[in-house]
Amino acid sequence: MWKITTVLAVLFAVALSLEGASRIKDLAMLDGRRDNQLVGYGLVVGLAGDGDSTQATYTIQSIANTLQRFGVNVPVDDIRSNNVAAVMVTADIPAFAEPGTRLDAIISSIGDADSLSGGVLLQTPLLGADEAVYAVAQGSVLVGGFFAGGEDASVQRNHPTVGSIPSGAIVEQPIPTRIIRENTLTFLLDEPDFATAVRMEEQINRYFPDTALTVSPTSVKVRIPEPYVGREMTFIASVEAIELEPDTQARVVMNERTGTIVATSEVRLSEVAVSHGNITVNIARTPFVSQPGAFSEGETVEGDFTDLDVVEARGGFSQLPPTPTLQELTSTLNSLGVGPRDMMVILKALKKAGALHAELVME
């Protein structure tokens, strides 16, 4: 117990001293600790005429089956209701979710309902991939859009046929989760990278010698040491608290629609010259009327004058120093008066010229 407390104290002290580092729990996840998807079929009632039409025969059949569960036997042909909509209900159940845990449910119409606004989802079992029931959903549906109108005119905002029930599903049984296999844990990196995986191995072995081994750029296996057998959760918490500085790939992400540019600090360029110029053409038309003097035999003449003005901004090459950093690049481009969209063109040209040593991602 003394050794465990000492290790935790050392980890906390190192965490305070490392700037720019990230915890292992923020860089990787345990193999086996994953969400699972649930799905179910249900009915939303109380839609005030916005539900499925009689052409959705599956909705009519579902209404009859639901009423039969409560001892009400109604022939399918006698059901005429447009206040009900058939829906699919989906939810994600996290690892280690215990019975009674609340989940958010998403409700989506599968018929021809106009809107789910104001509706209430009847109790709907949610099944996993193995067709076992893991949760049950029920409650008032919240819709972020609306639909209004008739046969001649209508208006719609967002998607009124999709809604949600916050905390509307209750877990009935947990999904088995196994994160320890043969006394070994496997950490999966969110961003696969050889250097980051090796650094993680070195940092873990620094505090728990000969326990970590890099298997691939994605996974690092960690053996649970003998003092922590029976206290695996304490060991996992200790490992996840270890900090390291991940290796980031040189990357420039550009969004042409919004003019957004994001670049990592590892971006480097070869020695290069950049020129930025601009040409502005102004064309102005001035109408005129020439009217002859009184009692003369001249004719009135109409037309316009055209003024053409071409302005070329002073450009020129700006020499960047050898192996410039990202800061030097942006400072130089800003000094040239380059806007975000023009900067994208320049970065594309630098990449094409082989002077930009980074991955260029266009969105």
Residue 240 is which amino acid?
E
* E strand or H helix at 327: helix 326-335
Residue 280: is its pLDDT beyond 70?
no
Rounded CA-CA distance 347/276 in Å is 12
CATH class of the domain at 2-33+178-244: alpha beta
Which of 91, 88, 162 has its CA nearest to residue 128?
91
Residue 265: is its pLDDT beyond 80?
no
Residue 289: is its pLDDT beyond 80?
no
Distances (CA, A) of 91 to 33, 139, 158, 306, 362: 17, 14, 21, 66, 32
What is the pLDDT at residue 12? 45
Rounded CA-CA distance 278/274 in Å is 14
What is the pLDDT at residue 355? 79
Name 19's Cβ contacts closer than 8 Å, sequence gap at least 6.
none
Residue 60: both structure tokens together: 């009519």
Q: Is 304 in contact with 285 (CB distance < 8 Å)?
A: yes
- Kindly list the domain boundaries of the chain, sorted by start residue: 2-33+178-244, 36-171, 251-362
Q: Is 43 in contact with 85 (CB distance < 8 Å)?
A: yes
What three-state secondary structure class fits 349?
helix
Q: Is 162 in contact with 109 (CB distance < 8 Å)?
A: yes
What three-state secondary structure class fits 47?
coil
Question: Among 33-47, 302-316, 323-337, which is the least confidently predicted range?
Answer: 302-316
pLDDT tens digits along 142-160: 997 655 555 555 555 667 8
What's the residue count for the chain?
A: 363
Name 211's Cβ contacts closer than 8 Å, sequence gap at least 6.
204, 205, 222, 223, 224, 225
* E strand or H helix at 68: helix 57-69
DSSP 344: H
Q: Within 13 A of 324's CA, how many CA atoms are on the CB side?
A: 21
What three-state secondary structure class fits 142?
strand
Residue 30: both structure tokens together: 């345990």
Residue 163: is its pLDDT beyond 50?
yes
Rounded CA-CA distance 324/169 in Å is 55
Residue 1: is its pLDDT beyond 70?
no
What is the pLDDT at residue 17? 44
Rounded CA-CA distance 331/280 in Å is 25
Question: Among 173-182, 249-258, 259-268, which is the least confidently predicted range?
Answer: 259-268
Which of 332, 351, 352, 360 has its CA nearest to residue 276?
332
What is the pLDDT at residue 269? 77
Q: Within 13 A of 150's CA, how many CA atoms are on the CB side?
A: 1
Scan for tokens 């959903």, then name that residue: 137
Residue 21: both structure tokens together: 């580092």
**Mean of the per-residue pLDDT values of the chain:** 81
